[in-house]
Amino acid sequence: MSPAKKSQRQERREKIKKQETQRRVITIAFLVLGAAMLVFAFIYPQFQSVGEIIVPEAYDLPDADGMALGDPNAPTTIDIFEDFQCSACKFFTESIEPLIIENLVATGKSRLVFHNYPFLDGDGAFNGGESDQAANASMCANEQGRFWDMQAVIFANWSGEGQGNLNSQKLKAMAETIGLDTATFNTCFDDKKYQDAVQADFDFGQELGVTGTPSVFVNGQKVGQPGKIPTFQEISTAVDAIVNSAE
């Protein structure tokens, strides 16, 4: 074989080797970039400023007991199912729930029980989305006897579905702002301690026939029109019908 042919073969080998090296470098660069983006996506939210936390003014809660209000022996039980990402739930909690508490619970007609129904995250399984995170936070606050304060502060700081306002950092900041024991709360929250309890509420709602939030039941009977927020008048009428029939 002539030196010229040998040189040409060598050149081809070196060219192929160089191309393979370039491909490896590019592949490694893409892998490193992808890994960096994943790390950034996970860590960055932890360093974002949570901003100002709005704390609504507290009002009297009759016979508060965990996630329930009112006399356990009241003639009616009002079961309310909500998702903390739900705009209609924010409206219901801030506009209709106080009327229920003042006119039905405080008067001894009803006992009100809150249930987490975090359906906006997807398939109903606890998957760590914002609805689940908020439900988890509410249960950890309930462990310290502060469920209703946490419910109020979550909705007061609501800024839209899927907007990131219910990420773990923000929820922990809310817990700190309302004066919870943060070490206990954070451990409870990070461990998803009440995941099974949240799922149990969700399953109970499905058994009753919940299809959206807020959903309200009076002694197990659904109140309101499909696709609409239950009104205070509808709830009050359902309660009074039961109370009056028992007299």
Question: Residue 131 carries which side chain, given as an amino acid letter?
Answer: S
pLDDT at 37: 56
pTM of the model: 0.78
pLDDT at 44: 45
Phi, psi of 8 (to 5 degrees): -65, -40
What pLDDT shows up at residue 160? Answer: 82
The pLDDT of residue 39 is 44
What's the confidence (pLDDT) of residue 34?
Answer: 61
CB count in 10 Å sphere of residue 222: 16
Predicted pLDDT of residue 242: 97
Helix ranges, the chain (H): 3-47, 87-91, 97-100, 130-143, 147-156, 168-177, 182-190, 195-208, 232-246
Q: What pLDDT is recorded for position 40?
A: 43
- Ranges of residues in the chain with a pLDDT under 50 are 39-48
Q: 221-223 and 68-69: which strand pairing?
A: unpaired
- pLDDT at residue 33, as a whole number: 66
